[in-house]
Chain A
């Protein structure tokens, strides 16, 4: 028997317990799960539950591709069809805009963090260099003798 069933810690409240959303089929590469958003089950996850799950998928699982195999929902990237679906009361809430928004926020945070880190590093390096130079009294380093 091959290894399988890698648990992914993301769940939502149902009755007295918690219900898992998804799980790894191939560790760190392929995750299978239920619709990652609010949907028309009798007792289903809320919009907030769905958002939290998507956040975890992007941050903890590094998901960079969503694949839908449902015929009962329009493609996530077809906004106009989702307007019609909502009007028909189908009950699924589109998740891709949430994922894109979270992804962009994450990228922006990363860029800001990297910029801040780089700035701090340069400042520290410059300060250290100046301090050492002053202590050395601008002395020249003697050349190594030729062999």
Chain B
């Protein structure tokens, strides 16, 4: 059992895009990729509610695996994750079948994910920590379970049901995706996770 920890303050994102404050995040993403490359199976990535910071890091990893995706498509992908997760259903109601999963996999990965060049292009000095500013208390959203209709794909009126959650996080993801795409030549280096 592996455990990784990269402290990010609630609602926050690295403050300078892919600059110095991004170092710990890049190191974390590197560790996650190494886990897969070393034969690891599944990673459970969590923040408190699983929307903001988890969405940010998940989007970052996804962009490295799929540098062909533009920021809007990637954000929509991440948003649809949270749309499902926060869906409230009556007690005892059955869940949807998972049978579709098997035919919706990412492309099989090449022998190497081809990350070293990307990291060399992206990673700055690993020295800074993220901003320590903490957003408002969790209570404001923890119990606010909303019906499905409150969420629409890609755009959500309720900030706490968005993923990544805050505007700085979403801006960061967009910037990150742009840098990754540039490093990969927009469509080159397509990679995915084999099973």
Contact = CB atoms under 8 A, between A and B. Distances in A.
Interface of A: 1-7, 9, 13-36, 39-44, 57, 61-72, 75-77, 96, 99-100, 103
A4 B77 contact: yes
B132 to A, nearest CB: 7
Interface stretch (B84-92, B114-122, B182-190): B84-92
Contacts, number: 230
B44 A69 contact: no
Contacts of A20: 84-87
Contacts of B42: 28-31, 61-65
Interface residues of B, number: 71
Interface in B1-15: 1-10
A15 B86 CA distance: 14
Pairs A-B, 8 closest by C-beta atoms: A41-B142, A3-B104, A71-B7, A34-B50, A5-B80, A65-B2, A5-B84, A23-B85
B25 to A, nearest CB: 9
B47 A35 contact: yes
A29 B8 CA distance: 22
Contact of A1 (B61, B73, B89, B193): B73
Residue of A32, A36, A57 ringed by the most chain B CB atoms within 10 A: A32
A17 B36 CA distance: 36
B89 A35 contact: no
B157 interface: no
A99 B84 CA distance: 25
Nearest to A102: B1
Contacts of A16: 90-91
